[in-house]
Amino acid sequence: MEYAIRTENLVKKYSNNFTALNGVSLRIKKGEVVGYVGPNGAGKTTTIKILTGLSRPSSGHAYVNDIDVVARPREALRTIGALIEVPGVYDYLTPREMLTYFGRVYRMSGDEIDRRIKESLELVKLSDWEHKKIGTFSTGMLRRLTIAKAILHKPDNLILDEPVLGLDPKGIRDVRELIRQFRNQGMTVFLSSHLLGEVAEVCNTVIFLNKGKVVSSDSVQNIDRSMEQRVVNVRFLKPLSVEETKRLRAIELIKSVEVEDSVARLQYDGKPESSVQILRRLVSSNFEVVSYNVESAGLEDYYVSVMGDEKKEG
C-alpha cells in the first residue's frame, strides 16, 4: 500500500543525551485526517520538523508520498504544505504581496500564482482582505492566512502543528471547518493538537505519543466503541430532593449517579436503546426534565487510559 506519510523507526537524540524520538513508526494513508497527541515534550513537534525537512533524524527514515525527506528534501517538500508552531508574518505586507512572494519561492508561474491566491484566500474567507496590511489582522485571521500560504501550491499533504493554538472559539471553529473541507477534497492532513475535543471532531485516526514512543493508534470510531461506559447529563427544573435522588438511583439501567443542585450526571452502558429507556423512565416517574444530553466517555478517557499517570497537556 502507498502511504501519504510513513516513518520507519525514527530516532532523534540531542547532544544533552535527551532522546526526543525513540523508534517512531507511522503509517498514514492518503486522504486520512490524523491527530497526533501526547503530553508536552512527547516528541510531536520533533516528528513534524523531521517530516518537513527542518530537522534530521539521528536514525530511521521518513517518507512523504514514498519520497525520502532526508535524501530528496526538495522533491518531498513539493508535496507538503505546513504550519509549524506560531508562524511569523510580515505586518507591512498585504496577503497578496506575501503569497506572491511564496508563490515565486515555489516556482509557480505568474498566472498560477494569481489564480491560487484567489482560490486560497476565498477558501480561508479572506478575499476581502487581499490588499489590506497584515498588521491589522486578528489572531484568527493570521492563522487562516498562514493556512492559505500552506495550501498555495496545492500540496497533497498538509502538516499542522497546533493549528488552533491561541485562537478564540470562533477562530477554532473556522480552522475546524477548513480541515473538514481539506478532508472532503481528499487531502491528507496530519495535525498535532492538545485539544482532544477538536481532534475527535475532525480526525479519522488518532496516534498517541508519549516519551518519544507511539503508545497507541486507532480510529476515532474504534476508540469510541472501546469505551464501554457513557454518561448522560440531565438538567431538572428544580434541585432534586433526597427522595428524588434515591428514586433516580433506583432506575435499573443507571449504573451511577452524581447530583449537584438541579443537574445529574448518570452513567449507563452506552447503548442507544438504554438512553431512550432512561429518558422514558424519568418522564414516567414525573421528573421535570429540562435537558437531556448524552456525553461520550471517548477520547479524553482513552487518552488517560493509554498515558497512565501522565497529565493531559493544556
Check which CATH number belongs to the domain holding 190 and give it: 3.40.50.300
- 214 and 258 housed in the same domain: no
- 157 and 17 housed in the same domain: yes
Computed over every residue of the chain, the mean pLDDT equals 90
Distance CA 160, CA 111 (A): 28
What pLDDT was estimated at residue 296? Answer: 60
What pLDDT was estimated at residue 78? Answer: 92
Does some domain include residue 150? Answer: yes
Distance CA 237, CA 147 (A): 46
Whose cell is 503508545? That residue is 215
- 245 and 134 housed in the same domain: no
In three-state secondary structure terms, 214 is strand
Residue 153 has pLDDT above 50, yes or no: yes
Region 271-278 average pLDDT:
89
* Cα-based distances in Å from 121 to 100, 112, 148, 156, 303: 12, 14, 6, 18, 36
- 35 and 181 housed in the same domain: yes
- 75 and 108 housed in the same domain: yes
Higher-pLDDT residue of 230, 162: 162
Residue 1 has pLDDT above 70, yes or no: no
What pLDDT was estimated at residue 17? Answer: 86
Residue range(s) defining the domain that contains residue 163: 3-219
pLDDT band at 312 (very low <50, low <70, confident <90, very high): very low
Residue 272 has pLDDT above 90, yes or no: no
CATH number of the domain where residue 283 is located: 3.30.70.980
What pLDDT was estimated at residue 300? Answer: 78
The set of cell numbers assigned to 57 is 533524524
Distance CA 235, CA 259 (A): 10
Region 163-182 average pLDDT:
90
- Listed in sequence order, the DSSP H helices in the chain are 44-51, 73-77, 95-105, 110-123, 139-151, 169-184, 196-202, 220-226, 242-249, 272-284, 299-307
Report yes or no on whether pTM surpasses 0.75. Answer: yes
What pLDDT was estimated at residue 166? Answer: 81
Lowest mean pLDDT among 18-27, 224-233, 299-308: 224-233
Does some domain include residue 305? Answer: no
| 232 class by beta-carbon count within 10 Å (0-12 exposed, 13-18 middle, 19+ buried) | buried
